[in-house]
Structure 1
């Protein structure tokens, strides 16, 4: 028997995906105080088995949710001290703050991982982390890193009814080069890399492109781990459209879509957006809950 602990908003979808597994579901209650403080409670924690899968998204409202996550871990370890515990964090907030770019900055990712590790999870589960090498260096807890970008791309192809053989995949920076290389190898696509330089102070981005015939492809997919404001993808999309290809799509694992990102992308020439539900959006075409049966078996 495995116990799944998760926000009540996720109950129906999780149980539908793991209907063939031997599980019980326990919800989380949250109390808000007038001074802004929060208090988590797991009323039925004593019903929990010795195998626990905790699913808790940090985004949106990241800072409050991180405090709640630590409270939930404290509850589990107090009442179920020796349980085998998998902690699923669908989108690892602060993962881009994995280096000290300027003098005096905090190493935020290290703070996040160290705070979680004090509760001794058996494993952490992440999906398409921005820089997995940083997590390897900083995490004191064993972790499983799952990639969903292949499933998102496969389902995008199905939805659009197009074949991959004449598709161009573009990585908006060298950090995603291995992703488009792997997609290209698996699906038989062409890929190209965009060199991106971001000013450390202003955040302004400049691009340089490989010399490639953009209009010779049926479609162009700009691929990244996440879409936040959409500024980078919009810049790449404008270049592609200006060079003759109007079938441009944005594809990412994590769809933050903040600060009018959708409007920015569509104005730049992007025809559609595809992603997973690590952050549920109307553009989510793959559910990470499909991985839960495998994770339960791994407990």
Structure 2
């Protein structure tokens, strides 16, 4: 059987993650050169001809968000100009996914604008993981695959023999995600009823379920300032919970918020590598999502080349 390596290039973000993914396919280098002028404009150059090829383009849209967005758009535009046949776009962290609705009468639906731009480029397929809500998927005309981190979390719980009594959704919006995990583990689901009257501020009304003297897992897709997850944790300990472990898919951790989280009452924080994170602490552990994306690349290769 002929072994066909995928053509993979990546943008200017989360470099360690993308390099480790390329290593699995025994790809030695990124065939794209990305430079910046003094005023931070990007200059894109390809180091290999990709004419009429299928390309996997990897880019995580984390901080600095707008640099990474422009970087992505320039690379896609360049690929289109050299007549690449199909672009499969892998975006582990998708910025603006939280802005999937009107916040007031005059506000934009920001994720819709991003999706419109990507639709314009006629991408073959977009692959991401753990979108913030179901609304996110409805804004794309491009074929979109949203992977789930549930299997990674289950494997991690089993591998580390974690003692868990209940699964907690930190808000109503995360119930489906938490329910899927609770079903996998055959555990009770507990829901925190909290509201966000203004940005970066929450008000907790009640906990739906019994948490007294329980070991729990809180599962969340994005943690930004950390204020919400810390408030929820404090609320749980006030209601006599025993132990809190938090699983986070996208550790945005803006403005050094991880320091607040480390110093909080949370017993353990497990994050994934969709966003680059280089701070080491006994309280934090990282699990990789790369094998989920690798499986998707392999599936596409099988479909495209009928291997």
**TM-score (normalizing by structure 2):** 0.86
* Distance apart, 1:239 and its partner CA: 1.3
Tell me the distance in 2 between the aligned counterparts of 1:154 and 1:289. 15
Aligned partners of 2:11 and 2:57 also within 8 Å: no
Q: 1:185 to 1:272 in 2, by over 3 A?
A: same
Secondary structure at 1:85 match in 2:
strand
Q: 1:49 to 1:271 in 2, by over 3 A?
A: farther
More moved, 277-286 vs 51-60: 277-286
**Counterpart in 2 of 1:50?**
53
**Counterpart in 2 of 1:176?**
174
**Which digits, 9 at most, give the CA deviation of each residue in 1:152-205, with x for residues without a partner?**
34314533x2244xx2211111111011111111111221111111114x5421
Is 2:222 the partner of 1:226?
yes
* Distance apart, 1:296 and its partner CA: 2.3
* Distance apart, 1:91 and its partner CA: 0.6
Over aligned residue pairs, what C-alpha RMSD do you find? 2.2
* Distance apart, 1:248 and its partner CA: 1.0
Tell me the distance in 2 between the aligned counterparts of 1:75 and 1:118. 14
Tell me the distance in 2 between the aligned counterparts of 1:71 and 1:135. 24
Aligned partners of 1:4 and 1:24 also within 8 Å: no
**Mapping 1:31-42, distance limit 5 Å:** 31-42=35-46
**Counterpart in 2 of 1:238?**
234
Tell me the distance in 1 between the aligned counterparts of 2:194 and 2:233. 14
**Which digits, 9 at most, give the CA deviation of each residue in 1:49-93, with x for residues without a partner?**
722111111112110110010000011111134x22210011110
Is 2:123 the partner of 1:121?
yes
Tell me the distance in 1 between the aligned counterparts of 2:262 and 2:28. 43
Tell me the distance in 2 between the aligned counterparts of 1:205 and 1:182. 25
Q: 1:211 to 1:98 in 2, by over 3 A?
A: closer
Aligned partners of 1:251 and 1:275 also within 8 Å: yes
Secondary structure at 2:212 match in 1:
helix
Q: 1:230 to 1:203 in 2, by over 3 A?
A: closer
**Mapping 1:102-121, distance limit 5 Å:** 102-121=104-123
Aligned partners of 2:200 and 2:227 also within 8 Å: no
* Distance apart, 1:115 and its partner CA: 0.9
Q: How many residues align?
A: 288
**Mapping 1:71-90, distance limit 5 Å:** 71-81=74-84, 83-90=85-92
Specify every segment of 5 or more residues in structure 2 that has no aligned partner in the other structure, as ranges: 301-307
**TM-score (normalizing by structure 1):** 0.88
* Distance apart, 1:261 and its partner CA: 2.2
**Counterpart in 1 of 2:295?**
294
Specify every segment of 5 or more residues in structure 1 that has no aligned partner in the other structure, as ranges: none
**Counterpart in 2 of 1:274?**
270
Aligned partners of 1:17 and 1:290 also within 8 Å: no
**Which digits, 9 at most, give the CA deviation of each residue in 1:123-163, with x for residues without a partner?**
00010010133322x1121111101133134314533x224
* Distance apart, 1:107 and its partner CA: 1.5
Aligned to 2:188, which of 186, 190, 211? Answer: 190
Q: 1:48 to 1:270 in 2, by over 3 A?
A: farther
**Counterpart in 2 of 1:66?**
69
